[in-house]
Amino acid sequence: MTEDLEDNGVLRSLEREVAADMGVDVQLAGTHVHDMVAFLDRYWRTGVSETPSAAVDLAWHHFILHTRAYTQFCLSRYGTYLHHEPDLEEPVLGKCCPKVDDGVLVGVG
């Protein structure tokens, strides 16, 4: 399922990043990364827009930050770039965006 990610080392990097961000082990983070790919595959197959779980959304956010790898993954797997469109009805600040306290970045939560 994720052979295209394994080829260039992005999968391992995503697993480590998600594990560190969520405070979980790399094995569980790997499950979240695989679930993210399954989520994107399902969207591509059905065209139905769903809200991902928090873990899948976090993995997706990390993946998108690897701009070249994410773009290449989308183009090779789906033939087009899959955009992340946040639900504007549900603010995400404090859930997955950096928190700022007195102008200082204090973390992601």
Which of 5-14, 24-33, 46-55 is least confident? 5-14
> pLDDT value at position 20?
94
* Total domain count, the chain: 1
> pLDDT value at position 88?
66
> pLDDT value at position 74?
92
Dihedral, 17, 95, 108, 59 alpha carbons, nearest 10: 10
Which of 20-29, 68-77, 81-90 is least confident? 81-90
The domain containing residue 61 runs over which residues?
Answer: 3-108
Q: How far apart are CA 103 and CA 94, in angstroms?
A: 15
Q: Which tens digits make up the pLDDT trace of 76-98?
A: 999 999 988 876 665 444 333 33
